[in-house]
Amino acid sequence: MMQSIERISELLQGARFPVFLTGAGVSTDSGIPDFRSPGTGIWEKVDPMEVATISAFREDPGRFWSFYSERMGMLSSAKPNPAHIALARLEGGGYVKGLITQNIDRLHSLAGSQLVAEVHGSIDHAECLECGSSHSYDRVTEMLAAGASIPLCDCGAALKPGVVLFGENLPGEAIREAANWAGQADVMLVAGSSLGVYPVAGLPELTRSAGGVLIIMNDSPTPYDEVSEIVSRGRVEEVLPRIAEELGV
Ligand code: ZN
C-alpha cells in the first residue's frame, strides 16, 4: 500500500487539473450504509427501488416520508470521517480542482470541500414540485421534529427531499459541471464508487478519452480497473489521509 500512496501522490503532484469522484464507500465510515450492500440498516426493511422512487413519492407522500424521515434522522447525525477531511485538505492544497460525488449526505461540504458537484442531489434542501420553491434542510428537520408526518410547502404541497429519487433526472447543472471537470481532468481519482450507475459511471471515460489517467480506490472491482493507472483496494478513510500527509497538506 505504501507504494501506491507514493505513486498516487506523485500523480497528483504532477497533475494540472486533478478531479475526484466519490461514492458510497467514502461515507460508510460515517455510519451511512451503502444500500447496494444487502442487509445494512434501514435497507434491510425496505427496498429502495420501491420506496425511494419519484412515483412512490407522488402516489403517497405520507408513506414516502414515513420511510424517508428515518433516513434523514440517520443522515443528520452523521459526521465527516477522515476521508472527507482529507479531501477537503487536498482541495485546500490545490490538489482537487473538482469533487464529483454520488453521495447525498452533504458530508463533503460539512468537511469544508467547496468545489463539489452533487450529481445525485443532496438532503441540504427540499423542493416543492408544485410551486418550485426550495426549503432549507433546517426547516425540513424542524417540521419533522415538530411531528409533521409530511413536511409541507407554504403552498400546501408535500415537499420532496433535494435528492434524486429513482426515476428522476439528475440535476442538470451538477451533471454539466461534473462532465466539464471530467473532460478537463488529466488525473481522475475515483474513491469508494463501484462505477455501476450511469451517467456518473461514464465520467471516467470522458477523462480517458481526453487523455487523462484514472486512479481507482475501491474495495471491490470496477469496470475501469483494467484501464486504470493505479488500483487500490485500501480503505479510503485510511489511504486518503495518508496521501494528504504525503503531500504535506
Ligand atoms: Zn409549493
* Predicted pLDDT of residue 189: 98
Residue 126 grid cell: 427540499
Asked whether residue 191 falls in the same domain as residue 231, the answer is yes
8-state DSSP, 157: P
Query: Quick one: cell of 148?
Result: 409533521
CATH number at residue 66: 3.30.1600.10
Per-residue pLDDT for 96 more than 80? yes
Q: Which of 163, 194, 226 is the last residue of a domain?
A: 163
Here the CATH number for the domain that contains residue 114 is 3.40.50.1220
pLDDT digits (tens, 9 = 90+) for 97-142: 999 999 999 999 999 999 999 999 999 999 999 999 999 999 999 9
Residues 114 and 237 in one domain: yes
Total domain count, the chain? 2
Residues 232, 145, single domain; the answer is no
Same domain, 95 and 204: yes
- The pLDDT score that the predictor gives to residue 50 is 75
Ligand 1 center from residue 154 Cα (angstroms): 6
**Same domain for 97 and 183:** yes
Predicted structure pTM score: 0.93
Same domain, 155 and 45: yes
Q: DSSP letters of the chain? A: -HHHHHHHHHHHHH-SSEEEEE-GGGTGGGT---TTSTT-GGGGTS-HHHHSBHHHHHH-HHHHHHHHHHHHHHHHT----HHHHHHHHHHHTT--SEEEE---S-HHHHHT--SEEETTEEEEEEEETTT--EEEHHHHHHHHHTT-SS-B-TTSPBEEEEEPPBTSPPPHHHHHHHHHHHHH-SEEEEES----STTGGGHHHHHHHTT-EEEEE-SS--TTGGG-SEEE-S-HHHHHHHHHHHTT-
Residue type at 101 in one-letter notation = T
pLDDT at position 76 is 85
CA 157 / ligand 1 centre spacing (Å): 5
Strand-pair partners of 216: 190, 231
Q: How far is the CA of 134 from the centre of ligand 1 (A)?
A: 8
Q: pLDDT of 181-205, one tens digit each?
A: 999 999 999 999 999 988 899 999 9
Pair (206, 242) in one structural domain: yes
Active-site residue among 84, 120, 125, 135? 120
Task: Find the angle CA(109)-CA(231)-CA(92) to the nearest 5 degrees.
Answer: 30
User: In this structure, are 144 and 236 located in the same domain?
Assistant: no
* Domain of residue 20, residue span: 1-32+80-120+169-249
**Does one domain contain both 235 and 175?**
yes
Q: Are residues 140 and 239 in the same domain?
A: no
Domain boundary among 163, 195, 217: 163
Domain identity same for 178 and 216: yes
Give yes or no for residue 41 having a pLDDT over 60: no
**Structural domain ending residue among the three candidates 134, 163, 192:** 163
Active site residue 125: no
Answer yes or no: do 96 and 37 share one domain. Answer: no
> Ligand 1 center to residue 132 CA distance, Å?
6
Single-letter code of the amino acid located at 70: E
State how far the alpha carbon of 44 is from the alpha carbons of 8, 34, 35, 38, 74, in Å.
36, 11, 9, 7, 14
